[in-house]
Structure 1
Amino acid sequence: MQALGKHLLVELHGCSPELLKKVDVIKGILVCAANACKATIVDTSFHEFNPFGVSGVVVIAESHISIHTWPEYGYAAVDIFTCGDVIKPDVAVEYIATRLQCKKPSVVEVRRGIMPGHHGKLAHKLSASTEKAVDADQELSLVH
């Protein structure tokens, strides 16, 4: 089955607690991971909690890479959601896990955007003619 996107749910245990506490380190790791997997960075937002822990997201044109850290447990939860076939989210997982000193990341893959009744490859960007057809169908459904 074809899907619009791939969502990786990443569990990182045994990470360096010192690295997980620092917002600038975490931001740098996620930005470099986005670059490593050839994503197009649109924006970033990170927050350091008191007494410790970091949450952040790198918004990419292809979706997002996010993280939440629990330094007291040496744990980080990472989500990597990508659309299209160009981005290699596995590269981002390996980069993040290595930098946070996690030896055995656990990854669950969820296929997102599976369209019922659709066969073949799904387009990630609509052409102008496809967009007009969708708009016309939506307008007709509103009338009826």
Structure 2
Amino acid sequence: MSAPTSALGRHLLVEYTGCDTAILADLERITAAMLDAARASGATIVTHSFHHFSPHGVSGAVIIAESHLAIHTWPEHHFAAVDFFSCGPVDMDRGLAVLHTAFKAAGETRMTLERGPLRAIHP
């Protein structure tokens, strides 16, 4: 799905609930899932960085030519928060579906924001 014509970009804030604890605590699995999601969306991966916290949780980001895909997990709460921001023609829904499956999420909620509304920039 491409960025809306009324804004510079589209930012999805996604909350995955009821996720598999072991997956959310696994740095390698989270990294792989995020890279797979970026590829599935058609984004151009530039670089990525992920970190495992002690005792648990993973944070990281995939920097894409179109912007970014970021995550923080709370395995002890079966919860992951994901931000997907794009100012280009990527299919965010396809990428987010990959994450839903990878995390074995029971639920998902989304909030969509238009970033850089063109009406504010060019009245």
Structure with bigger gyration radius: 1
Select which of 105, 109, 128 maps to 2:108: 105
Instruction: Select the structure that is richer in strand.
Output: 2
Structure 2: give runs of 5+ residues left out of the alignment: none
Aligned runs of 1:1-144 on 2, under 5 Å?
A: 2-84=6-88, 86-115=89-118, 116=120, 118=122
Structure 1 residue runs of 4 or more that deviate by more than 4 Å after TM superposition: none
TM-score by length of 1: 0.79
- RMSD (CA atoms): 1.3
Percent of pairs with identical residues: 44
Distance of 1:72 and 1:103 partners within structure 2: 15
Give CA-to-partner distance per residue, 1:67-113, whole Å, 9 cap, x none.
000000000000000112x2011111111011101132101100001
Q: Which has the higher contact order (CA 8 A, sep 6+)?
A: 2
Shift in alpha-carbon separation, 1:42–1:118, aligned structure 2, 3 A? same
CA offset at residue 117 of structure 1?
A: 5.9
What is the total number of aligned residue pairs between the two structures? 118
Structure 1: give runs of 5+ residues left out of the alignment: 120-144
TM-score by length of 2: 0.92
